[in-house]
Amino acid sequence: MDKYELKIMGWTGILLVIFLVTVVRAAGKYATDVPECIPYDESFTEPRIAQLDDNVYQVYMLAQMWNFEPSEIYLPVGAEVDFYLSSKDVVHGFHIADKNVNMMAVPGGINKTSAKFNEPGIYPIVCHEYCGSGHQHMRGEIIVNHPQ
């Protein structure tokens, strides 16, 4: 082997180790959460909000051209929410701003993730997957108010 090839292989190995250490540290620091895939059931395609306890909710979201149902969700501060997401027509994206919630809505599939809303405010929901000519208007919002 040429001495330059050995140097390149050495630097490549060092950069690979740095990359892997960075990925592992970032995954631990940002507490990445992978959405759960749930077996398809027709009952998940009915958009609704279910309150299970004072601060525990289940939100069944339906993505369709070009909106989310329900499009406005009102929650108290401190609410813990399980989101169940499905699509009626094509693949859609589902991202909640300022939260670590990012899912895909796939026809015939149900995705689930959880989030906690500790701060009052308006959290926009956007579709981040091109779903047709009206995609830019596909929005929703979560409104978190002070507890009454």
Read off the pLDDT of residues 6-23 as tens digits, 9 standing for 90 and up. Answer: 999 999 999 999 999 998
pLDDT (0 to 100) of residue 30? 67
143 CB-near residues (< 8 Å, 6+ apart) = 72, 73, 74, 75, 122, 123
Q: What percent of the chain has pLDDT over 70?
A: 95
Residue 65 has pLDDT above 60, yes or no: yes
Considering the domain 36-145 in this protein, what is its CATH number?
2.60.40.420
pLDDT (0 to 100) of residue 27? 73
* CA 111 vs CA 15, 16, 120: distances in Å: 36, 33, 26
